[in-house]
Amino acid sequence: MSQENQDQSTGISELLAKVNLLEQRIIRIEGQYEVAIQGMVSAQPARYQPELADSEEEQEVLVDKGLIESNIFEYGLAWFGSLVLLFGIAFLSNFARNYLNGPLASMVGYGAVAGVFFLGWHLRNTHTHLSFMLNLSAHLLVYYITLRLFFFIGQPVIPTKGIVVFLLFAVVCVQCYFAIRQNAELLAAISLILSLATALFADTTFVSLPLIAITAGTSVVLFIRFGWWRLMLVTMILVYVSQSIWLLNNPIMGNTVGAFLTHPFNLVSLFVYGTIYSIVPMIKQDGKFPNSIYPATILISGMSFSLVMLFVVLAYYENNYVWIFTMISFLCLCYSIFLKYRTNRIFDPAFYAIYSFMALSVAVYGYSKLPDAIWLLSLQSLLVVSWALWFRSKIIVVMNTILFIGIMAFYMAFYPPVDKVNFAFVIAAFISARIINWKKERLTLKTEMIRNTYLIALFFAMLFALYHVVPKQYVTLSWTCAAVFYFIMSLLLKLIKYRWMAIATVLFTGFYLFFVDFSNLETGYRVLAFLFLAVISLGASLYFTKKVRKKIHTVTD
């Protein structure tokens, strides 16, 4: 027994020795860690060394203040200093022109810019951000000094505008090269913005418009290569803005605003821009940009193209625009088919299809004018629904429904009734409702709202069409026949919604009969209307009562 106690005390002693050894090692590690922290703090400048605080929260506040101060000095002052330096050298170049001739003053400017480039290169390893800002300022100064060789001065240094435009374009190309080499999206954006500025400064049709197109293409190429989607979206907007400025006769160069440049190349260049940015849906993502860029690019490009196209049409083709929108409709429709088989995204082909049908609507309007064009637009709704079935696109169906209801309401409110237009709405609403009900699984429609919308449109369009097509004494009879039609459709299709439409039509007819026809119709027509409506109402009541009772007995049995 004593031997066992001795063994246990020996084991406990060894365990305590190991614990003590482990504790000493932990103490040494903590000591080394504190020494390292002290060394890091002492290595910082005095303004970054936080004073001893009573709690960890106070220490974190002191550190955050140090970081804020660091950001202000490193980034904020770098931006501010570079901006001041940019204006300073620009003023130096202008000041030199007062005492030196044009070439020497320009050389002074270029020499100052070379010094800025050298300073940025010298600081490239120690002060990266400051070096980048200096290089950015130097690139802007090179463009500015080159611009002043001909533009916005009394006596040009180089009297030939074409040579200076070429030099400006060369400066832009060099900037774009360095942007690609340094993987700098901001520098690339500045180079493309200066390219658009050069196009406007050139103020020549066969130089300015091709240069705008080249800028648009370059932005898409950089988007494909590096995924610079911000650069592409900004450039896209500025491309269409530049085209609009050009259409206003380029007032930047002192031309009279509103004296439109009537040149067919304006329309060609606009189609070129639209074609360039239509390439984006075919680009594979490869993790370079978010998926939302596809719809964003399509929407921004589509809206910008539409606004500028409206500008062009109102300026030049107000009486001859049918062929333009017919061509747009055809191209967009073909491209939507291509995207349907080329991509797995639903929105892209659907948008181009919708845009195609909107362009077709404008072409139809230009061909027939209102109100004759409305019956063609109502029948066009059937084509759109059929296209939506093929594309399995709920977006197309929803947009078409909104346009259909809007056109019908606009027509009924503001235009005199035309029989073929009235019945075109009836036919379009009826067939659209049937197609949507027939292929709702293909359209992935999980709600009856769209079909109900077409049925409601059918209800009012039918009453409206019959009211205007028959003599006034037969309105009640015609509406009663419409109720019979709905009852028959409910029996053939076994759909209760047509039965409710029949009941609503009977009630509407009864209201009209008592409050309108009762005082206006002759006695013979009044008797005929009352009897016909009564027979239809009672017959329908007896039929459906018998049918309901039969179902109840079947369930009971």
Q: What is the pLDDT of residues 449-483, one digit of tens each?
A: 888 888 888 889 898 888 888 887 777 778 878 88
The pLDDT, as a whole number, for residue 534 is: 59
Q: Give residue for tokens 């429904």.
A: 401
213, 231, 216: which is closest to 293 by C-alpha?
Answer: 231
Question: What integer best gives the mean pLDDT of the chain?
Answer: 76
Identity (one letter) of the amino acid at 283? I
CA distances from 89 to 69, 93, 101, 131, 168 (A): 29, 6, 17, 17, 19
Helices and strands per DSSP (H, E), number in the chain: 21, 0
The tokens of 389 are what? Answer: 């079935």
Q: Give residue for tokens 């180089």.
A: 158
Does the pLDDT of residue 248 top 90, yes or no?
no
Give 540's pLDDT tier (boundaries 50, 70, 90).
low
Torsion of CA 332, 336, 342, 345, to 10 degrees: 120
Percent of the chain with pLDDT over 90: 19
Average confidence (pLDDT) over 443-453:
71
Residues, the chain, total?
A: 557
Distance of CA 45 to the CA centre of its chain: 49
Does the pLDDT of residue 47 top 70, yes or no?
no
Does the pLDDT of residue 119 top 90, yes or no?
no
Record the pTM: 0.72
State whether residue 548 is helix, strand or coil: helix
Does the pLDDT of residue 250 top 50, yes or no?
yes
Q: Is residue 239 a contact partner of residue 223, using CB atoms and an 8 Å limit?
A: no
For the chain, how big is the Rg over CA atoms in Å?
A: 39
Give 60's pLDDT tier (boundaries 50, 70, 90).
very low
Question: Which one has a higher pLDDT value, 179 or 84?
Answer: 179
> What is the b/e burial string over 145-169, where b = at least 16 CB atoms within 10 angstroms of the residue's CB?
bbbbbbbeeeeebeeebeebbebbb
The pLDDT, as a whole number, for residue 387 is: 81
> Residue 253's CB: how many other CB atoms inside 10 A?
13
Give 61's pLDDT tier (boundaries 50, 70, 90).
very low
The pLDDT, as a whole number, for residue 399 is: 82
Give 85's pLDDT tier (boundaries 50, 70, 90).
low
pLDDT tens-digit profile of 309-361?
A: 988 888 778 788 888 999 999 999 999 999 988 888 888 888 898 898 889 88
Q: Give residue for tokens 């259409």.
A: 247
The tokens of 306 are what? Answer: 């539409």
Q: Give residue for tokens 């017919």.
A: 326
423, 445, 426: which is closest to 436 by C-alpha?
Answer: 445
Identity (one letter) of the amino acid at 114? A
Does the pLDDT of residue 520 top 60, yes or no?
no
Q: Residue 110: how many CA atoms within 13 Å on its side-chain side?
A: 11
The pLDDT, as a whole number, for residue 73 is: 44
> What is the b/e burial string over 410-436, where b = at least 16 CB atoms within 10 angstroms of the residue's CB?
ebeeeeeeeeebbbbbbbbbbbbbbbb
191, 198, 302: which is closest to 246 by C-alpha?
Answer: 198
Torsion of CA 149, 153, 157, 159, to 10 degrees: 100
- Residues 141-145: contacts with CB under 8 Å, at least 24 apart: 141/86, 141/89, 141/90, 141/109, 141/112, 141/113, 141/116, 142/110, 142/113, 142/171, 143/168, 143/171, 143/172, 143/175, 143/194, 144/90, 144/93, 145/93, 145/106, 145/109, 145/110, 145/113
Give 289's pLDDT tier (boundaries 50, 70, 90).
confident
Does the pLDDT of residue 303 top 90, yes or no?
yes
419, 329, 409: which is closest to 372 by C-alpha?
Answer: 419
Q: Residue 205: how many CA atoms within 13 Å on its side-chain side?
A: 13
Q: Is residue 199 a contact partner of residue 215, using CB atoms and an 8 Å limit?
A: yes
Does the pLDDT of residue 221 top 80, yes or no?
yes
Question: Cα 195–208–259 angle (5° rounding)?
Answer: 125
Residue 308, Cβ density class (10 Å: 0-12 exposed, 13-18 middle, ≥19 buried) = buried
> Distance between CA atoms of 524 and 521, rounded to whole angstroms?
8
Lowest mean pLDDT among 77-91, 184-198, 440-454: 77-91
Average confidence (pLDDT) over 295-320:
88
Does the pLDDT of residue 235 top 90, yes or no?
yes
Q: Give residue for tokens 């942007």.
A: 179
Does the pLDDT of residue 150 top 70, yes or no?
yes
pLDDT tens-digit profile of 355-390?
A: 988 898 888 888 877 767 777 877 788 888 878 777
Question: Which one has a higher pLDDT value, 141 or 301?
Answer: 301
Percent of the chain with pLDDT over 70: 70
CA distances from 117 to 104, 138, 146, 513 (A): 20, 6, 16, 90
The pLDDT, as a whole number, for residue 543 is: 54
Average confidence (pLDDT) over 191-202:
94
The tokens of 67 are what? Answer: 């970081």
Question: CB within 8 A of 390, min separation 6: which ones?
Answer: none
Question: Cα 427–488–478 angle (5° rounding)?
Answer: 60
State whether residue 476 is helix, strand or coil: helix
> Distance between CA atoms of 255 and 265, rounded to whole angstroms?
19
Residue ranges per structural domain of the chain: 470-557
Question: CB within 8 A of 506, min separation 6: which ones?
Answer: 480, 483, 533, 536, 537, 540
Average confidence (pLDDT) over 530-540:
55
Does the pLDDT of residue 55 top 50, yes or no?
no
> Distance between CA atoms of 34 and 252, rounded to whole angstroms?
65
Question: Which one has a higher pLDDT value, 62 or 380?
Answer: 380
The tokens of 489 are what? Answer: 């459709």
Distance separating the N- and C-terminal Cα atoms of the chain: 93
Handedness of CA 50, 51, 52, 54 (dihedral sign): negative
The tokens of 477 are what? Answer: 């009879």
Question: CB within 8 A of 315, min separation 6: which ones?
Answer: 247, 260, 262
Give 218's pLDDT tier (boundaries 50, 70, 90).
very high
